[in-house]
């Protein structure tokens, strides 16, 4: 399923008024992350304790691609926070303490730094905890990166679904599509731009061929079609995206003209 998806978006990039800037670089330089909404639903007037609590939440997400909204609803039994993206509910939180680390975490800091340093993309592998399943996909990923002419500018990271430090990151990845939470398979997410995640490769679909198709998309010349209908879901992140380094991809293509399509 995903193989055809990536083939379509790669071909679209190649035939639609392409420019010389590659997809990965263009998105980083020109496509600000789409915003989330964190909505506090409540029924009764907010007292001073809750007001201060919510202000603390606002201060903690101020630099991220997210807005805070208060909504009064008479039918709810108790207040809660709802995290929305593109009009879809990602997560619900009963108390403000559950929002700790919502917009930043150690792995997100590392990934953002790699993208800002000019890496082509980051391959983020979400594990199931089932060793046999996880190793099969990891082996395919390692082989694909090793065999790619762009392998030196691709990084990979493994992430457990049950990571306490990266709970919010794993949750957001599992909401890139609305049915991922119910799928007990390893997932491979291509991360690029300002923390945009493509729809993942799943389970047996994590093959060298499909990974190479994903890499082809990141290295393709950008196009009007891609710019107007950019695929992927943005992940919450509170860092800045000012002054990224020159894409390392450019030197590889300059040194190897045959890779420039």
- List, for residues 8-32, the tens digit of each pLDDT value: 454 444 444 456 788 999 999 999 9
Q: Which residue, of 99, 114, 142, is where some domain finishes?
A: 99
Q: Are residues 215 and 139 in the same domain?
A: yes
Q: Are residues 133 and 15 in the same domain?
A: yes
Q: Are residues 62 and 140 in the same domain?
A: no
Q: Are residues 158 and 221 in the same domain?
A: yes
**What pairs with residue 196 in β-bridges?**
192, 234
Domain with residue 87: its CATH number is 3.40.30.10
Q: Are residues 45 and 150 in the same domain?
A: no
Q: Are residues 158 and 75 in the same domain?
A: no
Q: Are residues 192 and 87 in the same domain?
A: no
Whole-number Å distance between alpha carbons of 83 and 253: 41
Query: Which of these, 28, 56, 66, lies nearest to 218 by C-alpha position?
Result: 28
- The average confidence (pLDDT) of the chain is 90
* Mean pLDDT, residues 69-85 taken together: 94
Query: Which of these, 224, 227, 221, lies nearest to 249 by C-alpha position?
Result: 221
With b for 16 or more beta-carbon neighbours within 10 A and e for fewer, the 130-139 pattern comes to eeebbebbbe
Q: Which residue, of 99, 129, 153, is where some domain finishes?
A: 99
128 and 184 in contact (C-beta within 8 Å)?
Answer: yes
The pair of structure tokens assigned to 200 is: 């993942």
Q: Are residues 89 and 173 in the same domain?
A: no
Q: Are residues 127 and 244 in the same domain?
A: yes
Q: Are residues 151 and 51 in the same domain?
A: no
Given pLDDT bands bounded at 50, 70 and 90, which one contains residue 224?
low
Whole-number Å distance between alpha carbons of 215 and 144: 9
Q: What's the distance, CA 130 to chain centroid? A: 23
Query: Which of these, 162, 143, 160, 158, lies nearest to 215 by C-alpha position?
Result: 143
Q: Are residues 164 and 227 in the same domain?
A: yes
Q: Which residue range is the domain that position 84 belongs to?
A: 36-99
Query: Which of these, 152, 150, 154, lies nearest to 259 by C-alpha position?
Result: 150
Q: Are residues 11 and 43 in the same domain?
A: no
Number of domains in the chain: 2
- List, for residues 202-216, the tens digit of each pLDDT value: 999 999 999 999 999
- List, for residues 90-104, the tens digit of each pLDDT value: 999 999 999 999 999
> What is the per-residue pLDDT for 16?
45
Residue that wins the pLDDT comparison between 231 and 13: 231
Q: Which residue, of 45, 80, 99, is where some domain finishes?
A: 99
């Amino acid at each position: 399923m995903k193989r055809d998806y990536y083939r379509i978006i790669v071909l679209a990039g190649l035939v639609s008024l392409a420019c010389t800037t590659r997809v990965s670089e263009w998105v980083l330089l020109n496509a600000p992350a789409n915003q989330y909404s964190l909505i506090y639903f409540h029924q009764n007037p907010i007292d001073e304790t809750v007001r201060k609590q919510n202000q603390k939440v606002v201060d903690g997400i101020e630099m991220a691609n997210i807005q805070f909204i208060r909504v009064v609803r008479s039918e709810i039994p108790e207040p809660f926070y709802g995290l929305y993206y593109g009009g879809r509910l990602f997560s619900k939180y009963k108390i403000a303490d559950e929002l700790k680390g919502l917009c930043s975490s150690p792995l997100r800091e590392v990934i953002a730094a790699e993208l800002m340093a000019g890496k082509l993309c980051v391959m983020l592998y979400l594990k199931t905890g089932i060793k046999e399943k996880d190793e099969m996909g990891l082996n395919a990923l390692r082989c694909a990166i090793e065999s790619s002419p762009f392998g030196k500018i691709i990084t990979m990271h493994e992430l457990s679904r049950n990571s306490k430090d990266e709970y919010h990151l794993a949750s957001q990845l599992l909401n890139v599509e609305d049915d991922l939470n119910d799928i007990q398979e390893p997932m491979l997410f291509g991360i690029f731009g300002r923390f945009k995640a493509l729809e993942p490769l799943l389970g047996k679909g994590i093959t060298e061929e499909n990974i190479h198709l994903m890499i082809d998309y990141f290295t393709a010349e950008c196009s009007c079609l891609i710019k107007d209908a950019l695929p992927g879901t943005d992940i919450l992140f509170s860092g800045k995206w000012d002054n990224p380094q020159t894409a390392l991809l450019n030197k590889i293509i300059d040194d190897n003209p045959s890779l420039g399509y």
